[in-house]
Amino acid sequence: MEIFDSGGGGGGPKDLPPVQGKDWILAYAPDLESLVLTDLQNQQYVVSQSGLIGRPSVTDDGTVALFVAGDQTLHAVSLDPNNLQEAILSSDPIWSSVAISADGQRLAATSIYAEPYIYIADLTQDPAPVKQFQIYTPDYAGAQPSTALYPDAIQWSYDGRFVLFDMLNAMVTEWGDTVEYWDIGILDAWNPAQQTFGSGIVQRALPPFPETISVGNPSYASNSPYIITFELVDMVNQNFYIAAANLEAQQVNLLVQNVPVLGFPDYSPDDRAIGFTTLDINDDYVFAVVPVGADKITPAGNVQGVLGGASVSVMFRQGSRPATSVRSGAVDVQPAAIEILYAHQHGRQLQIGVHLSTPGDATIVIADLLGRTVAKQHIPAATSGVQTVAIPLPHTLSAGAYLVSVVTANGMQSRLVKIGP
């Protein structure tokens, strides 16, 4: 494995103080068939040669990692360079993904059986009780249509209550065709106050996307539980992006385009960068980072290679986090300052319904997935309540996915839409 210099940018107030300690990366090196621990200062330790499926999961203090081995069994490794140890938690070859809570007390896992379940175990008891939660993709009216086939990537929120996950869905269109797509949900898995299993309620993490857009492999920011990074795939044009979102504002930004492989994005310990897997000019795996700004969802510099020969990687610190109050890893439902109700195409116009909580100037911007503005309309002195706006579309506009954003003095909300010919 080859180590490159890394850099970061941005910064700003954090909802949680970062872990204080030494920076490490836990990376899988396919050529070595090894899980490797490195401090990016040419210190490398092989912690396992059991193979890897999915993404490893590391406790908040950076002392223990869990992962699914190549034979689908569950493994744990200590990450002390002076005392590296590996143990098999489950020898049943049935696992697809695993996540350990920040405090190491709870485990979440999914199986290889393409079933719509996430399994939660309480590791503080012996034997550990396990509860099976059925996942679903709620619609935006709160109903629970049975479109979810199975979950894959999973991660605990810092407070140990919620599990962030992606899931494959299948739905039948009005023409009888079956369309598959990936979406991201948040499962209420554990009740910290009562020290018992959670309600099992699932929230949608992101605003609605066209059926040709898939999102997956989500990961929380290290210090802001309402910020996530994930992968976005435009299935029509086969374009892959690294994206990030503010769940409270429901704002989605695209950070890196044309990623040639699954990126498994992950925030750095200080949230100043997002790391992801990509390929170098020789089509070899490389773990790279893109700096992000103070909002943690806007790119703030160029992509930089960090670790050559590394595919799936996790950045973390070994140390402790100063005591602080914790905000929830899910979003409290509150009236939004801006809400995009719908965006429908009628010929060469896009009709957009917007609800504004307060009056004032508003601007609607339509941009392609490269961030280039293709249409824009200003609404001076817009009244509060529902606004209906028709924006002309350029005749030269190509069919595909576009990002509609509504901007006011109170904030911004964005929504991906599909525009046809």
Please check whether residues 242 and 155 belong to one and the same domain.
Answer: yes
The token pair at 244 is: 């990030």
Domain boundary among 288, 320, 352: 320
Domain boundary among 294, 320, 346: 320
Q: Is residue 186 part of a domain?
A: yes
> 3-state DSSP helix/strand/coil percent for the chain, to nearest 5?
0, 55, 45
CATH number for the domain that contains residue 152 = 2.120.10.30
Q: Is residue 263 part of a domain?
A: yes
Please check whether residues 231 and 152 belong to one and the same domain.
Answer: yes
**pLDDT (tens digit, 9 = 90+) per residue, 262-303?**
999 999 999 999 999 999 888 899 999 999 999 999 999 999
**pLDDT (tens digit, 9 = 90+) per residue, 178-225?**
888 999 999 999 999 899 999 999 998 988 788 789 999 999 999 999
Please check whether residues 7 and 147 belong to one and the same domain.
Answer: yes
The token pair at 288 is: 């790279």
Please check whether residues 42 and 96 belong to one and the same domain.
Answer: yes
Q: Is residue 148 part of a domain?
A: yes
**pLDDT (tens digit, 9 = 90+) per residue, 106-131?**
999 999 999 999 999 998 887 889 99
Q: What is the torsion angle, in degrees rounded to the nearest 10, for the CA atoms of residue 43, residue 155, residue 291 and residue 401?
A: 140
Domain count for the chain: 2
The token pair at 325 is: 């109050």
Please check whether residues 195 and 224 belong to one and the same domain.
Answer: yes
Rounded-to-integer distance, Cα 418 and Cα 421, Å: 10
Residue with tokens 């385009």: 257
CATH number for the domain that contains residue 388 = 2.60.40.3080
Please check whether residues 397 and 361 belong to one and the same domain.
Answer: yes
Q: Is residue 327 part of a domain?
A: no
Q: Is residue 332 part of a domain?
A: no
- Higher pLDDT pick, 179 / 142: 179
Please check whether residues 107 and 162 belong to one and the same domain.
Answer: yes
The token pair at 52 is: 């890897």
The whole-chain average pLDDT of the chain stands at: 85
Please check whether residues 18 and 149 belong to one and the same domain.
Answer: yes
- Residue range 63-74: mean pLDDT, rounded: 96
Residue 233 belongs to domain spanning:
2-320
Please check whether residues 297 and 409 belong to one and the same domain.
Answer: no
Q: Is residue 330 part of a domain?
A: no
C-beta of residue 123 within 8 angstroms of C-beta of residue 74: no
CB atoms within 10 A of CB 336: 16
Does the pLDDT value for residue 174 go beyond 90?
Answer: no
Q: Is residue 326 part of a domain?
A: no
CA nearest neighbour of 271 among 289, 251, 249: 289
The token pair at 346 is: 């009628």
Half-sphere exposure of 264 (CA within 13 A, CB side): 23
User: Using 50, 70 and 90 to split pLDDT, how confident is the model at 340?
Assistant: confident
C-beta of residue 71 within 8 angstroms of C-beta of residue 110: no
Q: Is residue 175 part of a domain?
A: yes
Please check whether residues 397 and 311 belong to one and the same domain.
Answer: no
Does the pLDDT value for residue 175 go beyond 90?
Answer: no
Long-range contacts of the stretch 302-307 (C-beta < 8 A, 24+)? 303/256, 303/278, 304/4, 304/5, 304/6, 304/7, 305/4, 305/280, 306/3, 306/4, 306/6, 306/25, 306/40, 306/275, 307/1, 307/2, 307/3, 307/4, 307/25, 307/27, 307/38, 307/40
Domain boundary among 291, 320, 349: 320
Please check whether residues 258 and 386 belong to one and the same domain.
Answer: no
Residue with tokens 């959670």: 198
Please check whether residues 218 and 279 belong to one and the same domain.
Answer: yes
- pLDDT value at residue 222: 96
User: Using 50, 70 and 90 to split pLDDT, how confident is the model at 388?
Assistant: confident
CA nearest neighbour of 274 among 56, 38, 22, 7: 7
3-state secondary structure of 243: strand
- pLDDT value at residue 176: 79
- pLDDT value at residue 7: 33
Sequence length of the chain is 421
